[in-house]
A and B are shown apart, each in its own frame.
Chain A
């Protein structure tokens, strides 16, 4: 097998098509957005002077500052819930379930819904959470409630339930991978060294799966920040996060504000990834 050394001409030419594509499809549009966000003056045109006024103006608005915090708060909440839930699911699938047949069956049941698009899955929550929806009917037939709960749909509760359902797989997948790569002998060695199961988990399993947790959290964080579909469909027009604000400004032809929010959102995402990289070096994984 021949190997291609990093930095060799062959490596350069092989990387070129993907590199060009990245420049055209990602780097240039991002630079364009950054540029537009800096346009000053009265007229919206490329001749505008470069200024940070748009940012100052946006951040001066208390409602918008609150919206940034609210978006981050929503992300933090979803991360916490999907993190715990995803870890439990991953642990159950890889550690507690010993029959390979059941493991495959449950894993497929877990994964197959994610083969449909995010939009369809988000919309599917409307008949589930609605006043006459499945969830309400189930609760009524169980005698737990007397009248339908309005707050499931078009509310933060509904959005959060939908987002937890949509993103738990992202939190769980990397943990499944990390858990299944821990040799069973490590757990056994710890037990023969007098560690009861809870200590084995705390001292051996959890530290060894930490990279998986962090990667899962990054994925959930990025997806919640970017999610405007669930918020629109399940939340109605009652709620908005930063993602929806971009859409709102865009539909209102406020192109500079659209760019400002987009850039702020990107900065938040990059900051999140940077924090995660400080906890674990994702690039070292799989080596």
Chain B
């Protein structure tokens, strides 16, 4: 039986884009494919190139090399007003001299829609974002949450193929963020518009994204589903950037039965090779262990053990975090879940360990 080949057009494709400012490389060889209706989060520390990448998609920056396709059409070199995108800016970028209604209708006005149609669509959109009562206000008279809704309404009214969001909730009060995140996720699912969401907050990225793209130093370190990135960080950077990981650096030792010995300044540890090729003995590598996978007061039955001294204990409600010091200045985090009574005192000497299968060897060797 012949396989029915359905070629779904990608909403966005970045092909090896590169952008430099003088000697500073802002985006280096970034490639990305966004499926229709996908929620993509670009995650990374400030200065990693995530915002520049977004601005290249919008056409606000032009990459020096590489290609950008929106809906399968080459748009590299096209100005922003000729691209099928809309963008939400970090501080919303509302026009201070326009009423909310005028502002929200601006995009349709630019598309030269008839006045009656604009008025009707604006009324609909204001109603759906529950901001009808703000129609005649100016941005100066709005709260942070209201501004965010107006900015979103203004961007969504033209029904773009892709909505670009640059830290869209970063300017909101902390208490508002979770609600707004849920609303935006629901909106994205309802409309089927692809979202590309830039953030430095991993909670946003992992809870919202279908695809999480972790960037560092202008490059993509890893892209994948939240489960993939969280469960199997590809590099020491990704592992270290994700909260609750302990990253160990060392060199490859013997490999046997799918297990690799890793020599570190703290001793030798056994780490599963998984699907990775056996590295040459002595080659540098790194692996990580999640802080909640550590075992207190590990005895001989636990293959990987470290002697540590507890420095601080913090209680977060859901878990208790212990920060411990080891030989050579290494810092280890141990998270204890379940409302257990405190079992390690600050200042106490203790041996922690972990089961061999809980070590995650990173694919890419440390640079």
Contact B80 A192 (CB under 8 A): yes
Contact A186 B79 (CB under 8 A): no
Contact A193 B97 (CB under 8 A): no
A192 to B107, CA, bound (A): 9
A191 to B93, CA, bound (A): 12
Query: Which of A191, A204, A208 is the one whose CB lies under 8 Å from B80?
Result: A191
Taking residues whose C-beta sits less than 8 angstroms from the other chain, chain A's interface range is 10 to 19
Chain B residue with minimal CB distance to A200?
B81
Q: How many A-B residue pairs have CB under 8 A?
A: 61
Contact A193 B107 (CB under 8 A): yes
A190 to B158, CA, bound (A): 13
Contact residues in A for B91 (Cβ distance below 8 Å)? 183, 185
Chain A facing B: main interface SS:
helix
Interface centre among A183, A191, A196, A203 (most CB of B within 10 A): A191
Contact A208 B97 (CB under 8 A): yes
User: Is B7 in contact with chain A by the CB < 8 A criterion?
Assistant: no
Contact B93 A193 (CB under 8 A): no
| Contact residues of A between 151 and 198, Cβ < 8 Å to B | 183, 185-186, 188-196
Contact residues in A for B97 (Cβ distance below 8 Å)? 207-208
Rounded to whole Å, the gap between the CB of B31 and the closest CB of chain A is 23
A183 and B93 in contact (CB under 8 A), knowing A192-B85, A192-B86? yes
User: Is B2 in contact with chain A by the CB < 8 A criterion?
Assistant: no
A207 to B103, CA, bound (A): 14
A185 to B86, CA, bound (A): 13
Contact residues in A for B315 (Cβ distance below 8 Å)? none
A199 to B81, CA, bound (A): 11
User: Is B58 in contact with chain A by the CB < 8 A criterion?
Assistant: yes
Contact residues in B for A191 (Cβ distance below 8 Å)? 59-60, 79-81
Contact A189 B87 (CB under 8 A): yes
Rounded to whole Å, the gap between the CB of A185 and the closest CB of chain B is 4
Contact B158 A194 (CB under 8 A): yes
A9 to B86, CA, bound (A): 56
A177 to B294, CA, bound (A): 59
Write out, one digit per residue, whether chain B residues 61-101 have a CB within 8 A of any chain A CB (1) or not (0): 00000000000000000011101011101110111110000
Chain B residue with minimal CB distance to A187?
B93
Rounded to whole Å, the gap between the CB of B161 and the closest CB of chain A is 13
A194 and B81 in contact (CB under 8 A), knowing A188-B89, A199-B110? yes
Interface centre among B90, B93, B97 (most CB of A within 10 A): B93
Contact residues in A for B158 (Cβ distance below 8 Å)? 193-194
User: Is B200 in contact with chain A by the CB < 8 A criterion?
Assistant: no
A189 to B155, CA, bound (A): 9
Contact B86 A208 (CB under 8 A): no
Chain A residue with minimal CB distance to B157?
A193
Contact residues in A for B90 (Cβ distance below 8 Å)? 185
User: Is B154 in contact with chain A by the CB < 8 A criterion?
Assistant: yes
A193 and B60 in contact (CB under 8 A), knowing A185-B91, A204-B95? no
User: Is B319 in contact with chain A by the CB < 8 A criterion?
Assistant: no
| Contact residues of A between 268 and 284, Cβ < 8 Å to B | none
Rounded to whole Å, the gap between the CB of A160 and the closest CB of chain B is 34
Rounded to whole Å, the gap between the CB of A281 and the closest CB of chain B is 13
6 examples of A-B residue contacts, CB within 8 angstroms: A188-B58, A188-B87, A191-B80, A192-B59, A194-B107, A196-B81
> Using a CB–CB distance below 8 Å, which chain B residues touch chain A?
58-60, 79-81, 83, 85-87, 89-91, 93-97, 106-107, 110-111, 154-155, 158, 164
> Using a CB–CB distance below 8 Å, which chain A residues touch chain B?
183, 185-186, 188-196, 199, 203-204, 207-208
CB-based closest 5 A-B pairs: A185-B93, A189-B93, A194-B110, A191-B80, A192-B87
